[in-house]
A = this chain, B = another copy of it.
């Protein structure tokens, strides 16, 4: 009967301590989304496979978790297909639903399905788990949360500026110093055009992207290995060595790719975004990065990626503009722009840099010691008054040894312990112990409430 319990690999249980940290992150993000007028939606965990398949490439199709049909799932199965191990055909026969792989495709489906109810431009956020049958490894899970925020139905660059402001606000509130890297797909197109080798664009951006890590010379080496002609590499030189502040970079890009219509448009867009962000206070470093690519085939305009300073942990947030997200579901010409925050990475950064705020744990503030039947009946009333004053409180349920009750309070990081014995009931003066400092005071309840609330 007894089984040794465990959970599927790549999934996680979250303890109270971990959930307190995660809720702190989610609530900070959600608070900023709301402050900027974004509205929450949720979509089902399962979508039809016809909605999901073919949207994430072959690899993505393979990584979708598929759900076995209910009832007679063998109804449509051809035994021959089973014998011949025709996995594709059998999959479609036994499964019509899958777990969502990201929040973007379900959002596109939502927008098309509900387009007559939505107030466009639609500013929505969505914080839900996604599932991928990826090989689990450090920092990569089969179930993880995404926090997506998008504006859909407007091409205005004010939306890009708003996203940058929100990113800045969120990381300011989380006390993480970040760099917001910006690029534009049209700039990449411009580069591909002037070197006349669009098919090499991914190789080029991947190589340039490593410049900080491996140095200029090794970037050249890598480009040669990718069989880029020496002539093309020479043309790329000013782009690879592009440095200085944002305005210098923009001016230099203009000289190199300003002659292409794509490049020129991309530069203008970036210029507008940079100019507008100067109207407001941005704490983060906003940095134009001509090598930033991120899911090249997907974005059509701005490309955004956020990294923490002082820690090497990959991107905490990323996104961009897409001009035809809903096209796959039959609604074309709807432009959108959005970013996604990775709660797991943000958690790791806060943990590693020790930036969680004091008392972010939603620990009980006061534990009332249980001295027995009569005392606990009295303590119930005291607890009621504490809670009515907004102080989280709990009465230890059993009248066990004091030591055991104190250990519980300590393990749960409870700050105050109240001792209400016979004496306290008689005099109305209650003993309050600060578990951090060891200090004890004895006073009436109203005074103790004040004391607890101040700290």
Asked whether, in the complex, the Cβ of B85 is within 8 Å of the Cβ of A82, the reply is no
Q: Is A353 an interface position by the 8 A CB rule?
A: no
Of B36, B90, B117, B396, the contact of A74 (CB 8 Å cutoff):
B90
Nearest residue (CB) in B for A1 is B328
Indicate whether A13 sits within 8 Å of B67 (C-beta atoms), given known contacts A39-B19, A97-B8, A119-B411: no
Q: Mark A406-420, 1 if CB is under 8 A from B, else 0.
A: 001001101000000
Inside 8 A of A87's CB, which chain B residues have their CB?
Answer: 72-74
Of B6, B47, B412, the contact of A8 (CB 8 Å cutoff):
B47
Inside 8 A of A328's CB, which chain B residues have their CB?
Answer: 1-3
Inside 8 A of A72's CB, which chain B residues have their CB?
Answer: 85, 87
A contact residues, total (Cβ < 8 Å): 115
Q: Is A113 an interface position by the 8 A CB rule?
A: yes
Q: Mark A45-87, 1 if CB is under 8 A from B, else 0.
A: 1111011000000000011011110101110010100110101
Nearest residue (CB) in B for A66 is B68
Indicate whether A279 sits within 8 Å of B381 (C-beta atoms), given known contacts A11-B46, A40-B16: yes
Asked whether, in the complex, the Cβ of A362 is within 8 Å of the Cβ of B34, the reply is yes
Q: How many copies does the complex hold?
A: 2
Q: Is A356 an interface position by the 8 A CB rule?
A: no
Inside 8 A of A3's CB, which chain B residues have their CB?
Answer: 50-51, 328-330
Of B66, B91, B154, B169, the contact of A397 (CB 8 Å cutoff):
B154
Q: Is A20 an interface position by the 8 A CB rule?
A: yes
Interface-central residue, A95, A363, A394, by most chain B CB under 10 Å? A394
Q: Is A452 an interface position by the 8 A CB rule?
A: no
Asked whether, in the complex, the Cβ of B37 is within 8 Å of the Cβ of A394, the reply is yes
Inside 8 A of A395's CB, which chain B residues have their CB?
Answer: 158, 162
Asked whether, in the complex, the Cβ of A2 is within 8 Å of the Cβ of B77, the reply is no
Instruction: Provide the bound-state CA to CA distance between A387 and B166, in Å.
Output: 11
Q: Mark A363-405, 1 if CB is under 8 A from B, else 0.
A: 1100100100000111011001001001111111110000000
Q: Is A42 an interface position by the 8 A CB rule?
A: yes
Nearest residue (CB) in B for A278 is B377
Inside 8 A of A390's CB, which chain B residues have their CB?
Answer: 35
Q: Is A156 an interface position by the 8 A CB rule?
A: yes
Which 5 pairs across A and B sit closest by C-beta, in order of nearness?
A2-B330, A37-B394, A16-B39, A11-B44, A156-B397
List 15 A-B residue pairs with CB atoms under 8 Å apart, sorted by A's residue number: A6-B113, A8-B44, A8-B47, A23-B40, A35-B387, A35-B390, A35-B392, A37-B392, A46-B65, A65-B68, A66-B67, A67-B67, A121-B408, A280-B380, A280-B384
